[in-house]
Structure formats: C-alpha cells, structure tokens
Amino acid sequence: MTLSLARLWAVLVKEFIQMRRDKVTFVMMIGLPIMQLIIFGFAINSDPRHLPTLVEMADTGPLTRAVLEGMRTSDYFEFQGVVTSPAAGDRALRDGSANFVVVIPKGFERDVMRGLRPALLLSADASDPSASGAAVAALGGIVDQAVADTLAGPLAQKAASPAPVQVTIHKEYNPEGRTSTNIVPGLLAIIMSMTMVMITAVAIVRESERGTMEALIATPVRPAEVMVGKIAPYILVGYVQTAVFLLAALWVFRVPFLGSWWAFFAGFNLFIVANLALGFLISTLSRNQMQAMQLSFFSLMPSILLSGFMFPFAGMPPWAQAIGSAIPATHFLRLTRKVMLKGAGIADVTQDMAGIAAIMAVIVAAALLRYRQTLD
C-alpha cells in the first residue's frame, strides 16, 4: 500500500504546532537538561578532596615526613590523627570517621636505604568507590615525588628505577578514574534517555487520551505515517538538547572534545531515534499520560544504574552487565566518553553504534507490532 509523504508531513507539522503551543513542556525540554547538568556537574562532586585520613606509623624519619607532607599538600587527604594498631584503623574505616588509613611499615626508612623496596600501604574505604578514586590515583605520584625530593644529593642513585617504595592499595577502586570530566559526557546519555522517551510517549498517548486518535485513524492515514510524523519533530528537540549540552560541557565544565565530530554526530542521531522509538513503544503500552510518564521513569532507572553512568560497567556482576548491554544508553555513554575523552574516531565506535542499532531494531519491531490502527 502507498505511503504518503504529504500526509506524513502534515502529521509532523501538526505536531510542531502543538509542541510550540504547549509552553510548559517546551520549557521543560530545554530547562531539564540544564538543571541536570548543573546538579550532576556541580553539586555532585565526584572528585572530592580533603578526605579524612589516619596514619599508622610504625616508623618515622625524613622520608615518612616527606610522604605525609606530600599527601597533605595534594589536598586529597586531610590528616585526622594517628592510630596505633591496625584494628583501630579498620574501625575508623568501618564507622566512616576516616576514608583512608596510611600504614608506614616498621623499618620503612631503613629498608628504603637498603634498596629493599618496602611497601607503603593505603587502605581505602571503597563503599563509595567514586569518592576515593581520584585520591587513590594521585597517591602513586605523591609518593614518587616525596621519595625523589628526600633522596636528592648523595642518595640520588637510590631513587633510580625500580621505584624504591611500592605503593599497595587495599580495596578496589574505579578503574576509569571517575572525575567530573568523566561524568559530564555520560550525562548526555541520561538526559536524552529521560526527556526524549518521556516527551514522545506523552505526545502520542495524549492523542488517544484526548480522543483525537479516533478521528485521526478514521482518516486513511497509515500507522507508519503517524509514527514517523509524530516522532520526527522530537529529533529536532534532541538536537537542541545536545547543542545546549555541548555548549555547557565544553565551556562551563571544560570537558575536552578530543575525538571525531562525525563519530559523535552519527552516534547521537542513532541514539535519539532509539529513544524516540522507545517512547513510541511506551505509548502503546500506556492508557493515559500519567502511565506514559511513569513507564518512562521506570525505563530510566536501568539507564542510570546499569549503563555505567553510576557504577563502572566492568565492575558489575555478569547479569547486570547483560541487562546493561540491552540498554541504548550504555552504548551511547561509551561512545560519548570514547569520542570526547579518548579521541575516538568513527572506526573506534562502530561496535557501540551497532549495539544501539540492534536494540533500536527490536524496539521498533515491538512498537509496530503493538501499534494498532484500531481502537481495540
């Protein structure tokens, strides 16, 4: 049967007019991403400093003092005092009064001089891995610097590689080294998952809730014309959101953009369409706008929790990774981080694009199956 471009266009134009007249939604479409950016970008500080730290000193000397001084001036660690036993250190970590315990082992100074490469131990509270990540990552450099400074002059040859002090870290930490630079690119995936899905779902359900669907499908219009015509205007909304996001990311949060703009452009177009299709699917499952809203929020939860936005993807159990892989945001988030932070080009992100495309195909198929051209 023949599809009519003119009819599709008419649905699209109508949708635009309605969008323009719905002031509240319009403001939300632009305001929400900005608000989220501010909250996640500024308020949620994923690169915290001045974390409470305790020291267990079994030795002391110029090197120990230099290491501790280096930690203090790094701003990451704030020394709260000294513990006298490992048990006291564990207790402090457990009850949260300290995030870190530094252990200077017995005979530390002497062993360094003898070239025995003793281990400096840092126990980190990993219950909030994102809180300690940056501090832990910085420690290696601090210690090396302290050693280099102290062993200057007559002892300089001791400072040559291999490093005279080993740094041992207890507890896992986020391998990606989470910083605000890392969170902002991920945020785009979340913002779009939220607004795109919800706006489309609501716009379509509104049609049946207000009864206008009955008149619409009494005309010879075809389902594909309705689907594309209703979805297409929101692609433009996605563009606007992305533009706002990029402006803020690059100029307010100073996130670098190292990779290929083309890779980014291709990826976000695909991602927008996938989200709109999901919104369409949700609309076929909802009876009214309230349900559409709730379902959209429901679909957002895994995007936030399992996409690698909140917790490092690699650290999740296999079942969670499996669910995460079925979420478009997971792939888009990887793509954005790769492109913006790691300088990826089109060739580096084909796998992520394929992931989004595959999920999208399933969603579109399900939506078309669910979409009725009748009122049954």
Partner 1 sequence: MSDLAISVRGLTKVFGGRRVVDGFDMDVPKGAIYGFLGPNGSGKTTTIRMMCGLLTPEAGDGTCLGFDILRQSQEIKGRVGYMTQRFSLYEDLTIRENLDFIGRMYRMKDRGARVDRALVDLGLAERAGQLAGSLSGGWKQRLSLAACMLHEPELLMLDEPTAGVDPKARRDFWDEIRRLSARGVTVLVSTHYMDEAVQCDFIAYIAYGRKLISGTPKDIPRLVGLQTWVVEAGEVGTLEAALKADPDVAQVARFGAMLHVSGTDEARLEAVRQRHPGQWQKLDGGLEEAFIWLMSGAQDNFAGPAARGGA
**Least distance between partner 1 and beta carbon 300 (Å):** 27
**Least distance between partner 1 and beta carbon 373 (Å):** 8
Q: Which of 173, 281, 231 is nearest to 8 (CA)?
A: 231
314 part of the interface to partner 1, by CB under 8 A: no
Q: Of residues 67, 221, 231, 349, which one binds partner 1 by CB under 8 A?
A: 221
Q: Of residues 81, 107, 220, 256, which one binds partner 1 by CB under 8 A?
A: 220
User: Binders of partner 1: how many residues, by CB under 8 A?
Assistant: 27
- The contact pattern for partner 1, residues 151-170, with x = CB under 8 A and - = no contact, is --------------------
**Site stretch for partner 1 (CB under 8 A), options 29-37, 42-50, 113-121, 216-224:** 216-224
Q: Of residues 24, 43, 160, 215, which one binds partner 1 by CB under 8 A?
A: 215
Distance from C-alpha of 240 to C-alpha of 223, rounded to nearest angstrom: 27
22 part of the interface to partner 1, by CB under 8 A: yes
- The contact pattern for partner 1, residues 222-261, with x = CB under 8 A and - = no contact, is ----------------------------------------
211 part of the interface to partner 1, by CB under 8 A: yes
**Least distance between partner 1 and beta carbon 228 (Å):** 15
Phi, psi of 174 (to 5 degrees): -55, 115
Amino acid identity at 138: A
Nearer to partner 1, 160 or 215 (CB): 215
**Site stretch for partner 1 (CB under 8 A), options 17-25, 38-46, 149-157, 279-287:** 17-25
Q: Of residues 49, 106, 210, 342, which one binds partner 1 by CB under 8 A?
A: 210
Instruction: Specify whether the CB–CB gap between 238 and 268 falls below 8 A.
Output: yes
- The contact pattern for partner 1, residues 334-373, with x = CB under 8 A and - = no contact, is ---------------------------------------x
What is the dihedral sign for C-alpha 35, 41, 45, 49? negative
28 part of the interface to partner 1, by CB under 8 A: no
Q: Of residues 75, 90, 128, 214, which one binds partner 1 by CB under 8 A?
A: 214
Nearer to partner 1, 218 or 347 (CB): 218
116 part of the interface to partner 1, by CB under 8 A: no
**Site stretch for partner 1 (CB under 8 A), options 8-16, 136-144, 306-314, 340-348:** 8-16
374 part of the interface to partner 1, by CB under 8 A: yes
Residues found near partner 1 in the complex (CB under 8 A): 1, 4, 6-7, 9-10, 14, 17-18, 21-22, 210-221, 373-376
